[in-house]
Amino acid sequence: MSTQQQEPETQEAPDDPEMKGVQSPQERRLEKKDAKAKEEPARKAQLEGETVHIKVFRYDPEVEGKQEPRFDDFHVPFEKGMTVLDAVIYARDEYDSSLTFRHSCRQAVCGSDAFFINGRQRLACKTQISDLEQPIRIEPLPHQEVVKDLVVDMSHFYDQMHAVEPYFQDEDTPPVSDLEEQRQSRENREKIKMSTRCIWCGACMSSCNIAAGDNEYLGPAAINKAYRFAMDDRESEEIKEHRLRILEQEHGVWRCQTQFSCTEVCPKDIPLTEHIQELKREAVKKNLKFW
C-alpha cells in the first residue's frame, strides 16, 4: 500500500505549486556565480595587500570570442608556502571554472604541470610564489601546440621519447626456468642514477632552440632516456650498439649545440647536456678503428 501511495505523489509533483519555487542545480550554480561576481570588488578591497597578482594565458579554439589569445588577471589570497599551482587552482575554483590546465600529484613527481612562468619553464607545484616577481605571468610551454589555455599537445614529445626504445633489453636473458636476478653494480647504478629521475614534463624540450627549429630532433629528454639504458651494464654490447645507432642519426645527439638550456630548466637537476656529450663520445669510440 505504501508503494501505491507514493506513485501518485511523484506524478503530481510537477503540478504542485510549492515545487515551482524550487531551484534546479544549474540555477543554484548560476546564482552562486552571480553573487560571487558582485562580492568580488569587496573581497579585493578586504584582501588588499594580501593577494598575489597572476596573469594567466587564455585560449579556447572551440568557443567563439575566446579564439584570440589573451591574458586574464586574477588576484589570489596569498598564504605562506603557496605555489604557483595553488594559485592557479584557486583561480579556477573560485573565479573561473573554465580555466584549463593539467596537474596531478602536486609533489614534483608526475611532471604534468610544467608551465612557462615568468619567462622560464618551471613546474608549477614546485615553484614558490614568494620567489617570483609580480605580476606572475603564466603561459603554456613554448614550441608546443596549445590545445586550450595552459594545456599543450604532448603527442610529439611522447613520440620522441618512445623512439629511443625506453625499456630494458638483454639478448642474454636466460630461459624463465633458469632465470636469475640480474644484478647491477653500485658504481654503474651511481653513474645512471641522475638520468632515471626524468619525469617526462617536457620542460627541457620546450627550452631547446634546436628542437624548436627541427621537429625531427630527438630532444634532450629522449636522449637522456636513451642514456639511462645505453649506460646500463646489464644490457649487452650488441644492444648498446643498437641504441647508439639510433642516437647518432642525423637528428640525434649531433644536433645538440651544447647551449645548456635544457640543463638549466630541468626541475630534477639532471645534467642533460653532459649526458648528450658523453653519448657523442661513445658514438665516436664505436666508430674508431685501429689497424
- Region 114-127: what's the mean pLDDT? 97
Asked if the model's pLDDT at residue 57 lies above 80, the reply is yes
29-152 and 155-172+185-287 agree in CATH topology: no
- Region 188-194: what's the mean pLDDT? 94
Q: Is 270 exposed, middle or buried (0-12, 13-18, 19+ CB in 10 A)?
A: buried
* Residue whose entry in the numeric block shows the C-alpha cell 645527439: 253
Asked if the model's pLDDT at residue 92 lies above 70, the reply is yes
Fold of domain 155-172+185-287? Fumarate Reductase Iron-sulfur Protein; Chain B, domain 2 (1.10.1060)
Record the pTM: 0.77
- Under 8 Å CB-to-CB from 189, ≥6 apart: which residues? none
**In this structure, are residues 22 and 103 in contact, taking their beta carbons and an 8 Å threshold?**
no
Q: What is the pLDDT of residue 30?
A: 75
* DSSP 8-state secondary structure symbol assigned to residue 132: S
The CA-based dihedral angle spanning residues 135, 139, 143, 147, taken in that order and rounded to the nearest 10 degrees:
-160
- CA distances (Å), origin 272, targets 28, 74, 106: 52, 36, 24
- Region 41-48: what's the mean pLDDT? 48
Q: What is the pLDDT of the chain when averaged over all its residues?
A: 86
Q: Which CATH superfamily is domain 29-152 in?
A: Beta-grasp domain (3.10.20.30)
Closest CA to 232 of 287, 167, 164: 167
Asked if the model's pLDDT at residue 291 lies above 60, the reply is no
Q: What is the pLDDT of residue 183?
A: 82
The span from the CA of 175 to the CA of 88, in Å, is 52
Q: What is the pLDDT of residue 4?
A: 44
Higher-pLDDT residue of 119 and 180 is 119
The CA-based dihedral angle spanning residues 247, 271, 130, 81, taken in that order and rounded to the nearest 10 degrees:
90
In the chain, domain spans: 29-152, 155-172+185-287
